[in-house]
């Protein structure tokens, strides 16, 4: 989800329900799996084999300046900082960092720009929820907000957050990452950051124009005739199609998705939108 273009509580609620794909049907309910305990070193120190893992209290000189204080733990690979509390495993921070590094690997200019804005990404732990993340406190009072799958900000709040459960595809990930009816919500929120923070106005206008064009076609409509979430607005159009490009959306027509997934399928199905997405990311990858 993303919260620009929001002028009423009703609009907020709609975005919250749809964003990341969770909703009122079976895909938003816990799958009943247990939560494996964190297997960090007992002392909570960064793992010896992780050169990018740091306790933020110990760092005098960050590789770039985050726009605001990060949480206790942080990881930096090749792009932006990933941060989480002591309740988030180092493994999850590294996994998300590596995923984002892969998304942006062909765009060093994007990395520079995101760093210039002080962008970082945060993670809420396997036993935490969205409201444990302090960067979006103005939304905490909203119905169902705390159970959401993630959120992304804008240039005045250039950060996104998602769940350790989704990053590690834990058994009780409500978004069932890695399954046919599951998705990578962390990638979805990072795509919002790409649009909200990295893009220039003219690039966002291109996304909006293409979204408007698509609304005049039968693209991104489900087999039952309902519109997929990608059609709901330009921001979600960008985030959902970024997921499809990186093979990180639903594999089958279900819930708010029409089942088109992966770069090859995307290119055949909607080559114009594909070119728009590829013009930003340059090369696809499999980040299901
Ligand atoms: Zn979204």
Residue whose entry in the numeric block shows the structure tokens 């933020």? 56
Query: What separation in Å is there between the alpha carbon of 163 and the centre of ligand 1?
Result: 14
Please give the chain's pLDDT, 288 residues, in tens.
665 433 323 223 223 333 544 443 333 444 567 888 888 876 889 999 999 999 999 999 999 999 999 999 999 999 999 999 999 999 999 999 999 999 999 999 999 999 999 999 999 999 999 999 999 999 999 999 999 999 999 999 999 999 999 999 999 889 999 888 889 999 999 999 999 999 999 999 999 999 999 999 999 999 999 999 999 999 999 999 999 999 999 888 888 999 989 999 999 999 999 999 999 999 999 999
Query: What separation in Å is there between the alpha carbon of 242 and the centre of ligand 1?
Result: 11
176 dihedral zone (left: phi>0; alpha: psi -120 to 50; beta) = left
Query: What separation in Å is there between the alpha carbon of 51 and the centre of ligand 1?
Result: 32
Quote the pLDDT of residue 13.
28
Query: What's the CATH architecture for 9-281?
Result: 3-Layer(aba) Sandwich (3.40)
Task: Compute and round to an integer the Cα radius of gyration of the chain.
Answer: 18
Query: What separation in Å is there between the alpha carbon of 239 and the centre of ligand 1?
Result: 6
Query: What separation in Å is there between the alpha carbon of 1 and the centre of ligand 1?
Result: 3
Query: What separation in Å is there between the alpha carbon of 189 and the centre of ligand 1?
Result: 6
What contacts 47, CB < 8 A, 6 or more positions away? 40, 41, 53, 90
82 contacts 74 by C-beta, under 8 angstroms: yes
This prediction's pTM? 0.91
Query: What separation in Å is there between the alpha carbon of 105 and the centre of ligand 1?
Result: 22
CA distance 107 to 203: 15
Residue whose entry in the numeric block shows the structure tokens 């991104």? 220
So where are the chain's domains? 9-281
167 contacts 89 by C-beta, under 8 angstroms: no
């Amino acid at each position: 989800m993303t919260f620009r273009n929001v002028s009423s509580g009703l609009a907020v609620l709609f975005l919250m329900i749809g964003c990341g794909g969770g909703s009122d049907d079976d895909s938003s309910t816990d799958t009943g799996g247990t939560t494996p305990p964190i297997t960090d070193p007992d002392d909570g120190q960064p793992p010896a084999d992780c050169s990018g893992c740091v306790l933020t209290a110990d760092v005098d000189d960050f590789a770039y300046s985050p726009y605001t204080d990060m949480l206790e733990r942080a990881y930096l690979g090749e792009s932006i900082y990933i941060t989480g509390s002591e309740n988030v495993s180092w493994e999850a921070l590294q996994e998300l960092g590596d995923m984002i590094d892969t998304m942006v690997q062909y765009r060093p200019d994007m990395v520079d720009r995101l760093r210039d804005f002080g962008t970082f990404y945060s993670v809420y732990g396997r036993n935490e929820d969205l409201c444990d993340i302090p960067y979006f406190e103005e939304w905490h009072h909203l119905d169902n907000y705390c159970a959401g799958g993630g959120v992304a900000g804008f240039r005045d709040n250039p950060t996104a957050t998602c769940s350790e459960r989704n990053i590690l595809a834990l058994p009780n990930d409500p978004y069932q990452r890695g399954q046919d009816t599951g998705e990578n919500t962390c990638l979805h929120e990072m795509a919002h950051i790409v649009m909200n923070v990295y893009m220039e106005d003219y690039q966002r206008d291109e996304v909006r124009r293409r979204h408007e064009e698509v609304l005049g076609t039968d693209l991104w409509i489900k087999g039952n005739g309902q519109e997929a979430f990608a059609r709901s607005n330009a921001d979600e159009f960008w985030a959902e199609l970024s997921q499809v490009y990186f093979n990180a959306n639903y594999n089958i027509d279900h819930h708010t998705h029409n089942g088109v997934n992966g770069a090859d399928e995307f290119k055949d199905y909607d080559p114009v939108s594909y070119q728009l997405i590829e013009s930003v990311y340059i090369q696809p990858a499999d980040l299901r």
